[in-house]
Amino acid sequence: MLTAVIFAVLLFIGMPVALVLLVSAISYAVISDNYLLFYSFAQQIFSSMEKYGLLAIPLFLLVGELMGFGGSTRRLVNAATVLVGSLRGSLAYINLLANMMMASIMGSANAQIAIMSKTMVPEMVKKGYDPALAAATTAAGGLMSPIIPPSMIFIIYGVLAQVAIGDMFLSGIIPGLLMALGFLGAVTVLGMFYEFPALEEKDRAEKIQALVDAVPSMSIPAIIVASILLGIATPTESAVVAAVAAFLIGKWINRELTPGDAWKACLNAGTNTAVVLFLVAMASLFGWMLIFEQIPQLVSNWITGLTTDPLVFMLIVNLVLLLVGAVIDGIAAMIMIVPILLPIAQRLYDIDPYHFGVVISINLVLGLLTPPVGTGLYIASHIAEVRPGRVFAAILPFFVVVLALLVLLSWQPGLVTFFLQTA
């Protein structure tokens, strides 16, 4: 109980989540007077890093960085502009479509929100959009990044659940597209209440040129998905191929990627990878403490006492994870929760592990935009120079879409497993 208090207090005062998990694990060993646990700390941390699937994380981060420095991000935004045209509110639609394109490359919501906020928010504000709405649309679009493959959180779930990461990627395709359609619908509804401006119509030659320029960049996500779907490469191998393709396209086709930019891309990918893997290691250590304390058995007994219906179980999990994701980083929460809830879902409710993984991933990703932890919310509000509270209020329509999607996916697992069943 005292460990839980320490955990809550450290989180409340704003200590980085990874350090909160480490200090909580150390405090548990001290409070329980079980100093022998310290001898296993290094082994647990090392074993959490000794996963081949985790190698895909720095590679996919590198792909996103190389595309940003190589001009591919801008070309994808221009292509999205052509697809939408001069509709009223077209920049909001362009924002979401560009986010969807980038989601098939980035894999990291925070990185995508930062990049797209710098690209789209100033442009939307300049055209007359409310800054809070511009930031909210961009931040909401970033939620697609961890769902549309490749996905960092899917990689971590695949490692934890010991399921094929490539199949996890396939499981996220339909939910990701449904999320994108829902967000586009939300913008349409918002357009009934806001006087969205329209863009000037581009001439035919400009449209064709924008689409032609974007074709090489669009080939990168196609390489990733096709190589996995056809069984040609593992997710890690496809990330290597995509990184090489991103470098060649940026260097020789777009002719914007310099040696200095490539070096910066590697540094950025390495720095972000270090942050993610340190969090993975600390969360694994804390999760091991939970298992040592037999928390999974206690949770199992509590849930089975509430219901025997799989749908009701999934709805309970949704509610619990929405609260957890609001206070704990999604990756850390994933590492702590999967060893507890996945065995219950499979053994007692016969829930498919891929279905379960997609649903809890969407839940935990929402925490990026939810106070008090909401890093994605703070990134978007900082770049837009708007108070986080205003951005959060503007995001609420998109939250409704995601909540509806969670209920739909919990009720209809076939939407997640469709490509697995047809493969």
d(CA 75, CA 217): 7
- pLDDT of 74-112, one tens digit each? 787 778 777 776 666 778 888 888 888 777 666 677 777
Please state, in angstroms and rounded to a whole number, the distance separating the CA atoms of residues 184 and 188. 6
Q: Which has more pLDDT, 183 or 195?
A: 183
Buried b (16+ CB within 10 A) or exposed e, 300-323: beebeeeeeebeebbbebbebbbe
Query: Are 118 and 383 a contacting pair, CB within 8 Å?
Result: yes
pLDDT at residue number 77: 76
What confidence score (pLDDT) does residue 107 get? 63
Output the pLDDT for position 346.
Answer: 92
State pTM to two decimals.
0.85
Supply the pLDDT for residue 263: 95
- What pLDDT shows up at residue 86? 61
For residue 49, the tally of other CB atoms under 10 A from its CB is 12
Say which range, 99-103, 105-109, 160-164, 217-221, has the weakest mean pLDDT: 105-109
Please give the Cα distance from 303 to 313 (Å, whole number): 8
Confidence check: pLDDT of 423 > 70: no
List, in sequence order, every residue forming a beta bridge with 198; answer none if it has no partner.
Answer: 88
- Structural contact between residues 107 and 61, judged by C-beta atoms closer than 8 angstroms: yes
- How confident is the model over 275-327, as pLDDT tens digits? 888 888 888 888 888 777 777 677 777 877 788 899 999 999 998 888 888 87
What letter represents residue 315's amino acid? Answer: L
Task: Please check the confidence at residue 397 and state whether its pLDDT lies above 80.
Answer: yes
Q: How confident is the model at residue 11 (pLDDT cuts 50, 70, 90)?
A: confident
Q: Are the beta carbons of 169 and 151 closer than 8 angstroms?
A: yes
| Residue 356: predicted pLDDT | 96
State the average pLDDT over residues 393-410.
94
Q: Residue 85's pLDDT is what? A: 64
The pLDDT, as a whole number, for residue 123 is 81
- Residue 116: which of 88, 85, 141 has the closest Cα? 141
Q: Are 413 and 353 in contact (CB under 8 A)?
A: no
Q: Is pLDDT at 364 greater than 80 in this prediction? A: yes
Q: What is the pLDDT of residue 353?
A: 96
Judge if the upstream peptide bond of residue 150 is cis by omega within 30 degrees of 0: yes
* Arithmetic mean of pLDDT over the chain: 84
